[in-house]
Structure 1
Amino acid sequence: MKLQHLLPTLLVLGLAACSNNDGDDGAPLGTDAAVISTRAPDYSSGAVSVAELATPFAAQNNLAATNSDIIVRGAGDHYFLVERGTGFVKRYSATAPGTQVYRYSTETAAEPGSNPHDIVVASPTKAYVLRYGSGKVWIVNPSAATEAAFKIGEIDLSAYDADGVPEMEDGLIKNGRLYIALQRLESFAAKKSGYVAVIDVATNLEINTGAGGATLKGIELPLRNPMRLVSNPANGDILVSSDGGYDNFAPLYEGGIARINTSTFATTLLVDDGTVAAHPRGQITDMDLVSGTRGYFIGSTGFGNDQTLYRFNPATSDAPVAVAGLGPVGLSAVSAAPDGNVWVGRTEGAAPGITVLGFAAGTETVVKARIDTVLTPMNIDFITVPTAP
């Protein structure tokens, strides 16, 4: 189904979320599409691309023009565009993906630099906005008809950092719990271990995991500067990826990929990013799982076209394997699609876009060499068009 046919179909069918936030929303099966945040090469602007997941992978580009510091999240019959530095959450309908439904602020007079980094949807009337520049998570109604009705509560996580701002970066919901990655930076430097706070979605109260020392309720991580949380579909574990952070703009190599056992809250370091002296795969900048035995991460050894895609097995201690043809090149994001393919963001200035990978006979296959997104892709999420009854 071509994208130009897909979007009118949404007028009748609507969408159900298939988001990387792993919200427990019971989404029905149907025709899938991707939503992608993009930026100009010079970071002067940003936009959104929407693409189909099957041949010919048709895309609509340059939708929802905005700034360059953004992410997108698919949810229900719409997606959210989070404008980080400017402090806004925008909602767009899948039937008109370039037409804004609302634009609500995440600022207050007392907190003008809220810097929202993620929105995690629990239900059509409840979501959580992770505010990187604040110590308080906002509980919001994502279906609110007015900005005054948007915020419905808050959760205070200021105890996780001495300055009251624990740098909330990423979140997901699994089995009635909200997991929030906290970077706990000091003047932008990753000088101490990251944490994951765990919230009971039913009560909005923080759970005391017993894995955070004497004073903190969350889970202390064996790494610094956590960037992404992913649920293992095989056993419910949470995987946390981290680039290890910086100090005076120098990489610290205190990162990797850690596993959280969601029954005991115990942590294990699965992939170590090395040391300042020896870091063969570089910093881990993004990660996702296809299954309980196959995942992918991006290792970066520099700021140019110096990234490599690696395959790893979260169930074993086997060494990660570099994916042929995808390194060293310019890579920005990796995301597992609902059909099992892997979408990889390409940042080469002359030909930005998405490479779609399959997997057969123990190796990757190229399903689509490049989906043209015009601008440089940053993050990738997925939405599902329900089938007609």
Structure 2
Amino acid sequence: MDMLTGDRTRIQLITKLSALSLALLVSACGGGSSSGGSGPVAGQNTAVVSTKAADFSGSDIQLIDLGSDYTAMSGVAPSDQSDTTVARYGEFFYRLGRNNIDTLTKYSFESPSTPIYEHSTLNNPEDASSNPYTVVFVNDQKAYVIQYAENEVLIINPSAQTQGEFIIGGIDLSDYADADASGAAEAADAVIVDDKLFVVMQRLVGFSPAEEDVNAYIAVFDTNTDQEIDTDPNDDPSNRKGIELDTRNPGKLVYHSDAGLFLQATGDAFYSFAGRDPGYTGGITRIDTDDYSTELVVDDGDADDHPYGFVYDLAIVDSENGYFVGYQSYQNTNLYHFNPTTGAATAIESYSGLDITNLVVGPQDNLWIGIGDAAQPRIELFDGQSTVESIGLIQNPGAILFAE
């Protein structure tokens, strides 16, 4: 059985089939420590990185000081479970346990090794795993948990002191349920733009995005009322209210205030599991957040001509500079620069044949590139011309988050 896209896709496939101490952190004014000291650690000067072992035997969280030397601190939240990711808001960061873990654990930058709480994301302890995928924050009293295996977006209070105060509501996604055994819409990512929550749903049938009548969707909700917005009020009222997508197996939403909202889709990267030919039905789509129209900016091609392989991961620097990962085979990926306005793409030769696990734009508009490597896991900072920094990690990098 072939292993497919990157670390995130491998974890998705596996889950569906089946403390180190912290040294001193440097604050904005140069003081403070992990245990209290003279003042709180300045979370805005710290990157939060989700890491996992190369053999998937465990995971951790590392904090990186955004000073001149980009010091990576030892792991602060070691776990023997690997299917985890991170979220952050304000002076707090969170570990989200995904499939068969179903927990959200809160930490502060002031005392990062000591959890503030750990709450279950299950409505009832006896429920099957909802596989929570990501957390999107409205404020410190309200956030959304996007659940891959459940047709509901949880509404939570991130400041809740008790489990009973934690889950405060939900948004129904059952209108987007697909026809496979799980019946879940497979909500995979979300962003908030102008008081609107955009939730992307893969709607895979089994592992297949190839079913002709099961398109992926983006549903849009008013964050003030949590009511769904009809993105095409002039069509048949019986139709779904969301944005129907032309690409399949969508994965990552990225919003930039100058460039707009973009969606990366992988296409049929699961083809070998069903004996199909590769399905190049992915790419990068721009979504208008006002009229909800879509435009395919980067097309992954077809069976005869697919210059990038499968499009995997995405980062937007500005209206003229973006990056995506082209997947060729397991742990063999290439980095591409593209123009988000025109779609013109060029390979970055110095980043080819690597296991690129994540892309994100840092505070200085450098591209942070997570690179999986059992011997040398790292993050490299790329300024558009060359690598300007390499940050060694204890495990392979996953999500990389900065203060907003």
1:380 equivalent to 2:400? Answer yes
After TM superposition, what 4+ stretches of structure 1 lie above 4 angstroms from structure 2?
13-16, 211-214
> Which residue among 332, 351, 367 is the counterpart of 1:326?
351
Residue 158 (structure 1) shift: 1.0
TM-score, normalised relative to structure 2: 0.84
> Which residue among 204, 210, 229 is the counterpart of 1:207?
229
Alignment of 1:245-284 (within 5 A): 245=268, 246-249=270-273, 251-284=278-311
For 2:85 and 2:286, locate their aligned partners in 1 and report how far apart those are by CA, in whole Å.
24
1:80 equivalent to 2:94? Answer yes
1:134 equivalent to 2:150? Answer yes
Identity %: 33
CA contact (8 A) 1:189 1:248 kept: no
Alignment of 1:294-313 (within 5 A): 294-304=321-331, 306-313=332-339
CA contact (8 A) 1:47 1:65 kept: yes
Residue 291 (structure 1) shift: 1.0
Alignment of 1:153-172 (within 5 A): 153-163=169-179, 164-172=183-191
Helix, strand or coil at the partner of 1:257: strand
Identify the range of structure 1 (31-40 vs 246-255) with the bigger mean alpha-carbon deviation.
Answer: 246-255
1:105 equivalent to 2:120? Answer yes
Q: Who is 1:71 aligned against?
A: 85
Residue 365 (structure 1) shift: 2.3
Number of aligned residue pairs: give it: 361
> Which residue among 179, 189, 193 is the counterpart of 2:198?
179
> Which residue among 231, 236, 257 is the counterpart of 2:255?
231
Residue 3 (structure 1) shift: 6.3
For 2:215 and 2:45, locate their aligned partners in 1 and report how far apart those are by CA, in whole Å.
38
For 1:175 and 1:14, locate their aligned partners in 2 and report how far apart those are by CA, in whole Å.
30
Alignment of 1:358-369 (within 5 A): 358-359=383-384, 364-368=385-389
TM-score, normalised relative to structure 1: 0.88
Higher relative contact order (CA 8 A, sep 6+): 1
The 3 A distance-change label for structure 1 pair 89 and 316 is same
RMSD of equivalent CA atoms: 2.1
Helix, strand or coil at the partner of 1:326: strand
1:33 equivalent to 2:15? Answer no
Tell me the amino acid that sits aligned with residue 318 of structure 2. S
Residue 340 (structure 1) shift: 0.8
For 1:301 and 1:45, locate their aligned partners in 2 and report how far apart those are by CA, in whole Å.
26
CA contact (8 A) 1:308 1:327 kept: yes
CA contact (8 A) 1:105 1:147 kept: yes
For 1:365 and 1:3, locate their aligned partners in 2 and report how far apart those are by CA, in whole Å.
30
1:351 equivalent to 2:367? Answer no
The 3 A distance-change label for structure 1 pair 270 and 3 is farther
CA contact (8 A) 1:32 1:338 kept: no
Tell me the amino acid that sits aligned with residue 176 of structure 2. Y
Residue 248 (structure 1) shift: 4.5
Tell me the amino acid that sits aligned with residue 379 of structure 1. A
Identify the range of structure 1 (138-147 vs 350-359) with the bigger mean alpha-carbon deviation.
Answer: 350-359
For structure 1, the residue ranges without an aligned partner over 5 or more in a row are 17-30, 385-389
For structure 2, the residue ranges without an aligned partner over 5 or more in a row are 1-22
Q: Who is 1:243 aligned against?
A: 266
For 1:227 and 1:5, locate their aligned partners in 2 and report how far apart those are by CA, in whole Å.
35
CA contact (8 A) 2:84 2:97 kept: yes
Identify the range of structure 1 (200-209 vs 46-55) with the bigger mean alpha-carbon deviation.
Answer: 46-55
